Amino acid sequence: MGTIVDLHTHVTDHWDIIRRNGKKFFGLFNNPTEIPKEILLRCSELQNSLGSSTLAAIVNFDDNRAGGLFDEIERFAESAKIDAKRKSGVLAVRFGSSTSYFIQGREIRTTKGDVLIVGNGRDFPSREPEYIFKAARGDGDSLVLIPHLGVPVIGMNLTTADKYREFIDAVDGREYADTLKVPSFTASDSHTIKHMFSKAQIFSNFNLDSPVVSLRDALKNYNKPYQCKPKQGIYEMGRHLVSSCLYTPFMLKRGILRRG
């Protein structure tokens, strides 16, 4: 069937927030206790039901969750005697009868709207889109994607995206992609483990030796969006917004939570 690909998942609401007792706080009503195991079980569930491998781009926002999760998954795999290896920036874990692939990414709130870089999780010293586009494409190991295109406040507008079209590998949304004459992508932008791959695509011939080139080539061919249950509904969207924009900032201000 190919590889089920989710190019935009955060896995949790937060990564670097600590409770008073020293334990991590991942989000409101969203505190998994065995993250590496739960991630691999989610991937294995899809693999077993669909007969396909999975690839998830774990995306940093203002933290280093991708690198942290890679390390935790590797430690779990070693303790559970599961085959795991890194190659060309991809972590491949053989769990069950199929392979779970993971690649790092970073979502950046630029001065002109959000940009998603897939291929590595590094940050950029500037928030100007032109600098980020040129630096990311200059690396040669990154995809440049535009999520939330046209969404007020957080999304880049169509005029700006058209200005930088030569740097863009794909945009979120088929209609905008057709207008800009660039490929489209579909991803979950999920903040819970159970919603990873709730929106995804199926790519064929994923090549671990050159993952970014392989993904870029796959994106050039229209891949029909694929939805995996459970879907993200209004409740999940509201839960994430309350957790990220209201509850956590309030608790940080009160000193009940802290960054660490």
β-strand partners of 179: none
Query: How high does pLDDT run on average in the chain?
Result: 93
User: How many domains does the chain fold into?
Assistant: 1
The whole-number pLDDT of residue 244 equals 96
- Angle subtended at Cα 208 by Cα 103 and Cα 222, rounded to the nearest 5 degrees: 80
Q: What domain range is 15 assigned to?
A: 3-249
Nearest Cα to 99, choosing from 51, 54, 39? 54
pLDDT of 260 strictly over 80:
yes
Residue 257 lies in a domain: no
The predicted-structure confidence for 85-105, as pLDDT tens digits, reads as follows 999 899 999 977 789 999 999
Report which of residues 167 and 95 the model is more confident about. 167
Residue 87 lies in a domain: yes
Assess contact for 7 and 57: CB atoms under 8 A: yes
Residue 38 lies in a domain: yes
Residue 216 lies in a domain: yes
Tokens matching residue 231:
């879907």
The predicted-structure confidence for 202-223, as pLDDT tens digits, reads as follows 998 778 888 999 999 999 987 7
* Sign of the CA dihedral running 22, 24, 28, 34: negative
Assess contact for 54 and 4: CB atoms under 8 A: yes
Tokens matching residue 184:
């489209």
The whole-number pLDDT of residue 135 equals 93
Residue 260 lies in a domain: no
Tell me, what CATH number does 58's domain have? Answer: 3.20.20.140
Residue 255 lies in a domain: no
The predicted-structure confidence for 2-61, as pLDDT tens digits, reads as follows 899 999 999 999 999 999 999 999 999 999 999 999 999 999 999 988 888 999 999 999
Residue 62 lies in a domain: yes
Cβ-Cβ contacts under 8 Å for 6 (sequence gap 6 or more): 54, 55, 56, 57, 187, 188, 190, 196, 197, 199, 200
Residue 258 lies in a domain: no
